Structures are given as structure tokens and as C-alpha cells.
């Protein structure tokens, strides 16, 4: 929703009152998000539920102008969640135990990459952060490439495409990531199943 608002803001029909009213709504929503039993339960998750809880709360806080809170949320993800979510190989144990393990691994890493992009505006380099196992985002991307190139059942490898594109932009490695992108597009007839991830990608 907030990504869509960034686009709508360019419209002459979006005014200061509308923006202010929506900020007030998100402030109230954030209170519910952090204090309701459902919200607190999601916030305690160490899998994709916890990742997206923090990603959403950080996005809400950024929208209302609470930069200090954004930084606090980012740091609370790095320690201890980032340590728990990736092992030394880059595998995501909490996602791999799911039935659609590859799909959930793509999904969780998408949320982590959102937090990394957000961190760029706050001097927090999650892109190159290593956890206690020595793994980072790049390790996680690299772990998923063989799984994507050898898909099983209905777990489309297209979910990795936008993440590979981000990895290529951040880490370089045009041959490694570029070749993987090419092969996955061949496997999926060019489809990006997470195309909404790159529809609107503001410069943080």
C-alpha cells in the first residue's frame, strides 16, 4: 500500500491533508500492530512472519516520519533474528521446514532485502552484514540458485528473479547472477512471479 502511495503522491489530487490524515491512521494502526495479541504474536516470530512484521512496522514508521523508530526496528531485526534465520550455508531452516520450502525461502528473503534497502537510508548496511554463522544476504541468494534451477513440484523458480536482480546490482557478479537470471527466464518463459517487488522501487 505505501509503495502505491509513493506513486499517487505525484498526482495533483493528493494533498497535504490527505497525507496527514493517512499518517494519523498509520500511527494508530502501528499502536494496534505492536500491542494487540495478534500483533505481538507475529512480532515474536523468527521466520517470515517475524520478518514481515518488522518490515511492515518499519515502513509505517518511515511513512509517519519516525526515523528513530525505523532504526530501532532494523537493529532489532539484525539481533537476534538475522542470526537465527540463516545458517552458514545460507539456508533458511525455518522456511525449509515448510511444505513449499523453496517458495517460502524466496518470500522471506524478499522481506529481508526490503529491510536492507530501507537500511540504506539510515546508515545500516544489512546487505553486507554477516551473522554469527558467517552468512549474509548474498550467501542466502547463492544457496537458492541451485534450488531455483532445479525446481520441484509447483514451486516456480521465478520467485528468485527479482532477488537475483537486486543481488547483481549490489554485489556485482554479473556472470553468476546474470546467467542464473537467464536460465530461470528460460524455465519460466520469462515470467517474474514477484514482479510487484520491482514495480515500484524508490531510491531510499
DSSP letter (8 states) at residue 38: H
The set of cell numbers assigned to 51 is: 520478518
Task: Specify the CATH architecture of the domain 2-199.
Answer: Alpha/alpha barrel (1.50)
97-146: per-residue pLDDT in tens?
998 899 999 999 999 999 999 999 999 999 999 999 999 999 999 999 99
Q: What is the pTM of this model?
A: 0.90
Q: Which residues are within 8 A (CB) of 138 and not within 5 positions of it... i.e. 6 or more apart?
A: 127, 167, 170, 171
Rg (CA), the chain: 18
Rounded Cα distance, 117 and 115, in Å: 5
Amino acid at each position: 500500500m505505501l509503495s502505491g502511495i509513493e506513486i499517487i503522491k505525484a498526482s495533483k489530487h493528493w494533498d497535504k491533508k490527505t497525507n496527514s490524515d493517512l499518517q494519523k491512521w498509520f500511527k494508530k494502526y502501528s499502536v494496534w500492530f505492536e500491542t494487540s495479541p495478534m500483533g505481538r504474536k507475529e512480532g515474536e516470530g523468527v521466520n517470515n512472519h517475524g520478518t514481515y512484521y518488522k518490515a511492515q512496522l518499519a515502513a509505517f514508521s518511515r511513512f509517519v516520519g519516525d526515523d528513530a523508530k525505523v532504526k530501532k526496528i532494523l537493529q532489532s531485526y539484525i539481533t537476534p533474528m538475522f542470526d537465527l534465520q540463516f545458517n552458514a550455508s545460507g539456508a533458511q531452516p525455518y522456511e525449509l521446514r515448510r511444505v513449499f520450502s523453496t517458495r517460502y525461502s524466496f518470500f522471506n528473503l524478499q522481506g529481508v532485502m526490503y529491510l536492507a534497502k530501507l537500511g540504506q537510508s539510515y546508515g545500516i548496511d544489512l546487505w553486507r552484514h554477516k551473522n554469527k554463522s558467517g552468512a549474509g544476504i548474498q550467501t542466502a541468494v547463492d544457496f537458492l540458485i541451485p534450488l531455483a534451477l532445479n525446481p520441484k513440484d509447483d514451486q516456480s523458480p521465478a520467485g528468485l528473479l527479482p532477488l537475483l536482480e537486486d543481488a547483481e546490482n549490489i554485489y556485482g557478479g554479473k556472470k553468476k547472477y546474470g546467467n542464473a537470471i537467464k536460465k530461470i527466464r528460460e524455465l519460466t518463459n520469462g515470467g517474474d512471479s514477484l514482479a510487484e517487488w520491482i514495480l515500484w522501487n524508490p531510491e531510499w
